[in-house]
Amino acid sequence: MKPQDEQTHFGYKSVARDEKQGLVADVFHSVAAKYDVMNDLMSFGVHRLWKRHTIACSGARQGQTILDLAGGTGDLTSRFSDIVGPEGQVILGDINDSMLKVGREKLRNLGKVGNIEYVQMNAEALPFPDNTFDLITIAFGLRNVTDKSKALASMQRVLKPGGRLLVLEFSKPIYEPLNKAYDFYSFNLLPGMGQLVANDAESYRYLAESIRMHPDQETLKSMMEEVGFEMTSYENLTGGIVALHKGFKF
């Protein structure tokens, strides 16, 4: 057994830190093909509203350079591509090549070409020079990162002065009745839905567990401040089931 400081969590399990990345990769290799369908089913379509709100809060403008980190199947990238136009650039970054392939095919089928680049990358060591991006978004990806503080520091490094980070992630419901209902749904219904649609109950059980192990709203805000983000804030969406955290680099 490895020492405690070399352990991390994979859902509710304790695993070696150097094993988590591969375990998470297996989950997303498994769910990539059905990812969009399951997102609509799991959230009853509300994930589209959460992402639309994130776009509205982004301040994205024509000509900017944007990193959509853990961008998966490209929902945010698609809209950012329209906003930044031919003078701008959007990089869809993801650690998982299966998700990148699904995102690339989906966006190219939508005619999104010319200002989008697809890059496989690890959030903990972003392969870009300092002060590269006007905006970084990471939607429903941070909870899967092994060292979240290291990833946040990497994001802060590659943002331009004046740039902003938006973290859209499942969080802690602020009403106890909602919290109980959410737990029942996550652990009793979601794995069965995953089995029925994606033939994979275990991956969706992990996804539910990973949400519960993710830092709550105030903890994540503090983590962002500790690596240098300023004017940090968060907004609870759908009663805190999801939170949108914001931070700036100055």
d(CA 154, CA 161): 14
DSSP assignment letter at 72: T
Query: What is the value of pTM for the model shown?
Result: 0.87
Binding-site residue ranges for S-adenosyl-L-methionine:
73, 94, 122-123
Contact 170, 199 (CB under 8 A): no
Q: Is the pLDDT of residue 5 over 70?
A: no
Domain 4-174+206-248 belongs in CATH node 3.30.43.10: no
Percent of the chain at pLDDT > 90 equals 65
Binding-site residue ranges:
73, 94, 122-123
The tens digit of pLDDT for each residue in 146-186 reads: 999 999 999 999 999 999 999 999 999 999 999 899 888 88
Q: Is the pLDDT of residue 217 over 90?
A: yes
d(CA 243, CA 190): 20
Take residue 9 and report the two structure tokens written for it. Answer: 């969590």
The tens digit of pLDDT for each residue in 47-105 reads: 999 999 999 999 999 999 999 999 988 999 999 999 999 999 999 999 999 889 999 99
Contact 169, 200 (CB under 8 A): no
